[in-house]
Each structure stands twice: as structure tokens, then as C-alpha cells.
């Protein structure tokens, strides 16, 4: 299925957010996630099912004012 | 001692971490400013680069409390989701809440800000709302659960200083017991000293330090200005007068004309 990750289309064969992060190489990264605009806590990524066309945001610490 | 949600800070200067020429200069600026808090943010991460991790390691090594922001958010939903993500990544329930209502001035949307502040406060966040100097908005934010207010001095990154002295004085006078931070618009150390002389509890600065020709030296200058301004406030400044009053005694002056 096709998933939009940080506004880039990815064709993936995984079903959960946790698996998606591992497949894309974020396995041990310090990131926070949201699916379709809703925050998904790290502890709930394994249970969060993805669907075709869903929007995933993967954010990390960055400089800020 | 001023407490921010029950926490004392080591200094009254809050420093942003964006726009520095290099990570090393950022770290040196934080040390030279003697910053009591540093602000941080969240942005999209590339799996290959891991730039966020390197930045976070640098900030943690500084040992200064972090205040994550919701910069760039234009709606309640964006700001709330960003705050939730920040809480998990940075491990703090402090959040500098920004909900921008107007793109040219980056003026806060006070209506959305109050709504987002209520949602986040009920969810256990300690909200630092980036706001205008609006008295009614301030009252609503306090009712929404905020225990700190952060009015702007001038638009973000403008360096204009304190645009509305009357409004900022009125805000300070209306809420004398609420910790208040001037956030945004400060351009030079004298602006920061002025904010502190008005009785504000802290200032938050980023661009004025990061974009200075010598950010490290400017950071130190801001640290000194904040300290001087606070000391002047405590020392109770004289009232300004419209007319001159001789400072040298006139009694005993010779008549020589």
C-alpha cells in the first residue's frame, strides 16, 4: 500500500506504524509520530494499523526559538 | 525568587537555539548567556541523516532545561498534536504554545491560543503561551490553566524592541503575581534591560543573539543586560519628570552675577 511519510510517497508492505519505522530505518531513532494528524505514542505504535493513503509524520528534535 | 510552574530557573534569560552559524557557536552562546532555559522544536527527520539526534545530544550535554515550542502551527489541532509529540521526545510537560494567526507579523491567534491552552492544560501540560499584550486574552489564558504568560515585545525576528510600552506596563500591573516573559522582538540588550526594568520576570531571545556578528559576545551582553535590568527593577527606579530638577544643592550657592 502507498503511505505518505513526511509528504513523500512510500510503497510499503507493512501493517503497523512500528513496522513502518523499522522498514524505513528509524528503528532506534529519537522521533515522535503522528498518523492522519493524531499523535501516536511510542508505546502504541505496534498496535496502530496503517491504511492505504494514510499520512504519517515522523518528527525529531530541531533548533527552535 | 520567581517560579515557573514551581520551578526556579538559574537565570532570567531564555535563549532560542535556531539560526546559529554552527552547533559549536550555539553551545558557546548558551554558556556565555548563562541561559536558564533553551527553546527547542520538532521538525521532519530523515532516516538517513539523523540530524535531530545530534542536535538533541548537544542540547542535553549543556544541562539546561528545555522549553519545546509549537512554532509554525496555525491551528489548535496542529499545536496540540505538536505539543504531544514534543512531550514524548523531550521528556517535559513544559510547552511554549504558539498558534500563529497572521503570516506577515506572526501575530498569535489569541482565540485559538486560549482553546489550545485549555486542552493542553487539562492534559497535564505546563503551558507558556506566546501571546499579544491583550489584557482580556491574558485573563482567558489564566482561566484556561496557564500559570505563566509570554507577551510579545514585537513581531518575531524583527528586533524592534518593546512596541507597546503602555500595553506591557498595563499587563504587568494587572497580573502582578503571574510570572511573565517578554518573548519575541527584542533586538539589542537595552531592550532586554527595559523589559526587566518594567518588572517582567524573564525574556526570551533568539534571533538577536544568533544573527549577531559575534553571537557568543552578544549572548554575554544579553546576560548582563537581563541581570542589570532585574537589579534596577528591584532597586525601585525614580519617577520620570517633565521638568528639570537640579541635582546639585542650590542652598549656599554664591551670588556672582
Residues A20-43, mean pLDDT to the nearest whole number? 93
d(CA A26, CA B45) in angstroms, rounded, equals 9
How close B23 comes to chain A (CA, Å)? 10
Q: How confident is the model at residue B157 (pLDDT cuts 50, 70, 90)?
A: very high
CATH for A6: 3.10.20.30
Choose the closest CB to B42 out of A37, A42, A60: A60
CB-defined contacts A:B, below 8 A: 109
Q: Does position B160 have pLDDT exceeding 90, yes or no? A: yes
Q: What is the pLDDT of residues B91-102, one digit of tens each?
A: 999 999 999 999
A chain contacts of residue B207, beta-carbon cutoff 8 Å: 65
How close B138 comes to chain A (CA, Å)? 22
Q: Give me the helix-helix angle, B110-122 and B135-143, nearest 10°.
A: 20
Any domain includes A64? no
Q: Does position B47 have pLDDT exceeding 80, yes or no? A: no
Any domain includes A43? yes
Beta bridge partners of A61: B42
Q: What domain range includes position A53? A: 2-59
Any domain includes A49? yes
pLDDT, chain B, mean: 96
Q: What is the pLDDT of residues B167-189, one digit of tens each?
A: 999 999 999 999 999 999 999 99
Q: Quote the number of domains for chain A.
A: 1
- Give the burial class of A8: count Cβ atoms within 10 A of its Cβ; 0-12 exposed, 13-18 middle, 19 or more buried: exposed
Q: Of the candidates B122, B69, B119, which has an alpha carbon nearest to the alpha carbon of residue B94?
A: B69
Any domain includes A45? yes
Interface touch A58/B81, C-beta < 8 Å: no
Q: How confident is the model at residue B49 (pLDDT cuts 50, 70, 90)?
A: confident
Any domain includes A65? no
Q: Does the beta carbon of B70 lie under 8 angstroms from any beta carbon of chain A? A: no
Predicted local confidence at residue B257, as pLDDT: 87
Q: Does position A58 have pLDDT exceeding 80, yes or no? A: yes
How close B49 comes to chain A (CA, Å)? 10
Q: Does position B51 have pLDDT exceeding 90, yes or no? A: no
Residues of B annotated as catalytic (active site), given as ranges: 96
Predicted local confidence at residue A28, as pLDDT: 83
Q: What are phi and psi of B104, to 5 degrees?
A: -75, -40
Q: Does the beta carbon of B156 lie under 8 angstroms from any beta carbon of chain A? A: yes
Q: What is the pLDDT of residues B111-127, one digit of tens each?
A: 999 999 999 999 999 99
User: What 3-state class would DSSP assign to B39?
Assistant: strand
B chain contacts of residue A6, beta-carbon cutoff 8 Å: 44-45
Any domain includes A18? yes
Suggest the residue from B30, B47, B209 to mutate for an interface test with chain A (most A CBs closer than 10 A). B47
Q: Does the beta carbon of B249 lie under 8 angstroms from any beta carbon of chain A? A: no
- Give the burial class of A52: count Cβ atoms within 10 A of its Cβ; 0-12 exposed, 13-18 middle, 19 or more buried: exposed
Q: Are the CB atoms for B145 and B166 separated by under 8 Å?
A: no
A24: nearest CA in chain B? B47
How close A27 comes to chain B (CA, Å)? 9
Q: Does the beta carbon of A64 lie under 8 angstroms from any beta carbon of chain B? A: yes
B chain contacts of residue A7, beta-carbon cutoff 8 Å: 44
A chain contacts of residue B39, beta-carbon cutoff 8 Å: 64-65
Q: Are the CB atoms for B14 and B202 separated by under 8 Å?
A: yes
Question: What ipTM was reported for this prediction?
Answer: 0.94
Residue with cell 512554532: B71
Q: What is the pLDDT of residues B242-251, one digit of tens each?
A: 999 989 988 9
Any domain includes A29? yes
Residues 6+ apart with CB under 8 A from B38: B14, B15, B16, B17, B30, B59, B62, B64, B65, B66, B67
Any domain includes A17? yes
Q: Does the beta carbon of A24 lie under 8 angstroms from any beta carbon of chain B? A: yes
Amino acid at each position: 500500500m502507498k503511505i505518505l511519510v513526511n509528504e513523500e510517497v512510500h510503497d510499503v508492505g507493512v501493517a503497523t506504524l512500528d513496522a513502518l519505522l523499522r522498514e524505513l530505518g528509524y528503528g532506534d531513532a529519537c522521533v515522535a509520530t503522528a498518523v492522519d494528524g493524531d499523535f501516536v505514542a511510542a508505546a502504541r505504535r505496534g498496535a496502530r494499523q496503517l491504511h492505504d493513503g494514510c499520512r504519517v509524520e515522523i518528527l525529531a528534535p530541531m533548533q527552535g526559538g | 525568587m520567581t517560579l515557573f510552574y514551581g520551578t526556579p530557573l538559574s537565570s532570567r534569560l531564555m535563549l532560542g537555539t535556531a539560526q546559529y552559524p554552527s552547533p559549536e557557536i550555539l553551545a558557546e552562546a548558551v554558556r556565555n548567556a548563562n541561559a536558564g532555559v533553551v527553546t527547542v522544536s520538532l521538525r521532519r527527520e530523515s532516516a538517513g541523516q539523523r540530524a535531530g539526534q545530534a542536535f538533541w545530544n548537544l542540547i542535553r550535554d549543556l544541562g539546561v532545561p528545555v522549553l519545546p515550542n509549537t512554532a509554525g502551527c496555525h491551528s489548535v489541532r496542529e499545536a496540540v498534536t505538536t505539543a504531544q509529540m514534543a512531550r514524548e521526545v523531550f521528556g517535559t510537560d513544559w510547552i511554549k504554545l504558539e498558534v500563529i494567526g497572521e503570516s506577515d507579523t506572526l501575530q498569535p491567534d489569541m482565540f485559538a491560543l486560549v482553546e489550545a491552552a485549555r486542552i493542553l492544560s487539562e492534559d497535564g501540560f505546563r503551558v507558556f503561551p506566546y501571546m499579544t499584550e491583550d489584557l482580556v486574552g491574558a485573563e482567558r489564558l489564566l482561566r484556561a490553566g496557564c500559570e505563566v504568560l509570554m507577551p510579545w515585545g514585537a513581531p518575531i525576528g524583527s528586533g524592534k524592541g518593546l512596541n507597546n510600552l503602555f500595553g506591557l506596563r498595563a499587563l504587568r500591573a494587572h497580573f502582578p503575581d503571574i510570572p511573565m516573559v517578554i518573548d519575541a522582538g527584542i533586538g539589542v540588550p537595552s531592550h532586554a534591560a527595559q523589559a526587566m526594568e518594567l518588572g517582567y520576570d524573564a525574556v526570551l531571545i533568539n534571533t538577536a543573539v544568533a544573527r549577531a556578528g559575534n553571537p557568543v559576545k552578544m549572548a554575554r551582553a544579553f546576560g548582563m543586560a537581563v541581570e542589570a535590568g532585574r537589579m534596577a527593577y528591584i532597586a525601585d527606579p525614580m519617577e520620570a519628570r517633565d521638568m528639570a530638577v537640579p541635582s546639585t544643592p542650590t542652598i549656599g550657592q554664591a551670588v556672582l552675577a
